[in-house]
Amino acid sequence: RNGGMIQQIFLPFFFELGGRMGSGNQPLPWIHVKDLAGLVKHAVNDESMEGVYNAVAPDIVTNQKFVNSFAGAMNRPAFFPLPDFVWNLVFGEERAVMITKGQRVVPTRTLESGFKYRFPTIEEASAEFARFPYVDSDIGH
């Protein structure tokens, strides 16, 4: 929660100003940072891994499902959508398309490698990073 997208959206959601991005129907590839670190460690330790691996969670969600899960874990409503034109103005159409259109990404090779996710679903991940105050249970381990 101390970086990435969650750091950027935590305060708006905390103050009940969160909502879907664009239509909400677009896919939103995601991965918990602890799983990303775990996947890197897995790849370093497994000499048979080579080539490209998609570092995304196996739970393929829409932007709306992500918003519902995150807001729900925070016990906050999420009904302030940001339409496509806002993202286009802020980031330019070329960059905004990542948010407003999304891309469906499947971690086929990652799963085939035997990697085990700590947070395979958006609900599990949201429950971990939406706590306030946030205390990282892995610090010092």
Task: Assess contact for 133 and 74: CB atoms under 8 A.
Answer: no
Output the pLDDT for position 130. 80
46-65 per-position pLDDT tens digit: 999 999 999 999 999 999 99
Phi and psi at 103, nearest 5°, equal: -155, 135
75-128 per-position pLDDT tens digit: 999 999 988 898 888 778 888 888 889 999 999 999 999 999 999 999 999 988
Residue 26 CA to residue 129 CA, distance in Å, equals 22
Question: Token pair 């330790």 is at which residue?
Answer: 45
Give the global pTM.
0.85
Output the pLDDT for position 141. 46
More confident residue, 100 or 138: 100
Residue 24 CA to residue 93 CA, distance in Å, equals 17
Task: Assess contact for 30 and 56: CB atoms under 8 A.
Answer: yes
Phi and psi at 21, nearest 5°, equal: -110, 120
Q: Give the highest mean pLDDT range of 4-13, 14-23, 89-98, 132-141.
A: 14-23
